[in-house]
Amino acid sequence: MRANAAVIAAVLLFSAGCAQVELRGSGDLGVIVERSAGRLQVVDTTRQASIGAIAGLGDLSHASVVYSRDGRYAYVFGRDGGLTKVDLLRLRIERRVVQSGNSIGGAISQDGKLVAAANYTPGGVRVFDADTLEMLADIPATYGDGGQRAKVVGIEDAAGSRFAFSLFEAGEIWVADLSVPRAPKIQKFRDIGRQPYDALVTLDGRYYLAGLFGEDGVAMLDLWHPERGVRRVLPGYGKGEQPLPVFKMPHLEGWAMAGHLAFLPAVGRHEVLVVDTLTWREAGRIAVAGQPVFVMAQPDGRQIWVNFALPDNDKVQVIDTETRQVTRTLSPGRAVLHMEFTARGESVWISARDDNRVTVYDTATFERKAELAVEQPSGIFFTVRALRFGF
């Protein structure tokens, strides 16, 4: 009886598998977050279409995603502390844990074996086995006399099973070395500046840069030389003398680089800042239509795409990096939340939350190539992220 049942189950599974899965790679796939529905749309960037949906992921407001190095599994960090591993090929949840009360994002280690989640409540970092989602390390973000815990922001992967992250209330940057995953070694950098709110690592994984909300400037740590400590760069970066109210915090992930120039959102200003990364000094400002949220470079570095906070969040502007001029203003829909380029940048996908739509643009002609109906889309994440530091 039991053997029979097992055979039937196996046959059912097998046939279900056949019906569901075509043999294919994952290099041109991605996911779009449907923030209110707690669901992902899995998309094929070659066919420019959705190939299915995966539901049951909890509260996905401000959700973010990292990928396994084979580009098959997406790890989704939900606001409610949910960490969900989804299989893009079989279109299903592989594993799911609710690992905290309130989470902001995460990172995956250089070797792909560890997934780390940055948490607001309780403030700290938790590290999981990427296969099983078993928790391996719990790093409380304690500060002061040790009784308080800070919200953790800006967690990034660094070479050698390390994760760098910032403590919002404490004004600290920590680097956790998880070479022995169950026994993390923590290096703490104190007094790095008030209220670090987000961070990034440069494309080569060398520099960790944390934006400061509480004061001007950027805290920079050279991950090749942590012994040199955190130094302050871009002294004028921030709100400056007459700040406008900031209606949405700019994101630093995906700091746009073109050659040795970096383009980043000014905080509370209608400007994109140009920074020379050889000297870490400001090299210019470009006036744009509103307060920038994401400032993203096409993979070839030729154009920069910018979206905005309220009330200009129905626009996207394109900047030519050679002339440093705005060359286009697009209207992809109401409440533009995110943009994502295909691996080599022939197209960009843009989400418009309040129009329930994702639009695919040709980056050379600005033609609309496709439109996908997606319920309140926010983040768009393609599997090419699997291959890069800081994504």
Partner 1 sequence: MRRASVLWPGLALACALAPAYADGVAPAREAELVRLVRQDCGSCHGLTLKGGLGPPLAAAALGDKPAAYLKYTILYGRPGTPMPPWRAYLTEADAEWIAARLLEGFPDAR
Q: Which residues make up the interface to partner 1 (CB under 8 A)?
A: 35-36, 59-62, 79-80, 101-102, 104, 120-121, 151, 153, 168, 195, 197, 213-214, 245-249, 310-311, 335, 353-354, 376
Choice between 50 and 102, CB closer to partner 1: 102
Nearer to partner 1, 212 or 256 (CB): 212
Least gap, CB of 376 to partner 1 (angstroms) = 8
Cβ of residue 91: shortest distance to partner 1, in angstroms?
24
DSSP track, 156-222: EEETTTEEEEEETTTTEEEEEE-SSTTS-EEEEE----S-EEEEEE-TTS-EEEEEESSSSSEEEEE
Cβ closest to partner 1, residue 120 vs residue 341: 120
Are the CB atoms for 39 and 54 separated by under 8 Å? yes
Distance of CA 99 to the CA centre of its chain: 19
CB of 80 to partner 1, least distance (A): 7
Nearer to partner 1, 131 or 216 (CB): 216
- What are the angstrom distances between the C-alpha of 174 and each of 10, 146, 167, 177, 208? 48, 15, 8, 10, 11
Closer of 29 and 152 to partner 1 (Cβ): 152
Give the pairing type, strands 82-87 and 73-77: antiparallel
Helix (H) or strand (E) holding 12: helix 2-20
- Residue 391 Cβ vs partner 1, minimum distance, rounded to whole Å: 21
CB of 378 to partner 1, least distance (A): 9
Report d(CA 83, CA 213) in Å as an integer: 27
Of residues 15 and 36, the one with the C-beta less far from partner 1: 36
Integer Cα distance of 373 and 212 in angstroms: 37
Give the closest residue to 33 by CA, choosing from 76, 95, 80, 91.
Answer: 76
Q: Which is nearer to partner 1, 215 or 362 (CB)?
A: 215
| Rounded Cα–Cα distance for residues 236 and 218 (Å) | 9
How far CA 306 is from CA of 63, 90, 321, in Å, comes to 20, 34, 13
Minimal distance in Å, beta carbon 338 to partner 1? 12
Exposed e or buried b per residue across 43-73, where buried means at least 16 C-beta atoms within 10 angstroms of its C-beta = bbbeebebeebbeebbbbebbbbbbbbebbb
Is the peptide bond prior to 299 cis by the omega test (within 30 degrees of 0)? Answer: no
**Nearest CB to partner 1, comparing residues 25 and 144:** 144
Q: Which is nearer to partner 1, 27 or 58 (CB)?
A: 58
**Shortest distance, CB of residue 26 to partner 1, whole angstroms?**
29
Min dist. Cβ of residue 268 to partner 1 (A): 9
What does the alpha-carbon distance between residue 348 and residue 31 come to, in Å, rounded to a whole number? 14
Structure tokens, 366: 């600005």
Q: Which two tokens stand for residue 13?
A: 């599974």
Least distance (Å) from partner 1 to the CB of residue 40? 16
**CA distances in angstroms from 130 to 205, 382, 386, listed in the order given:** 21, 19, 13
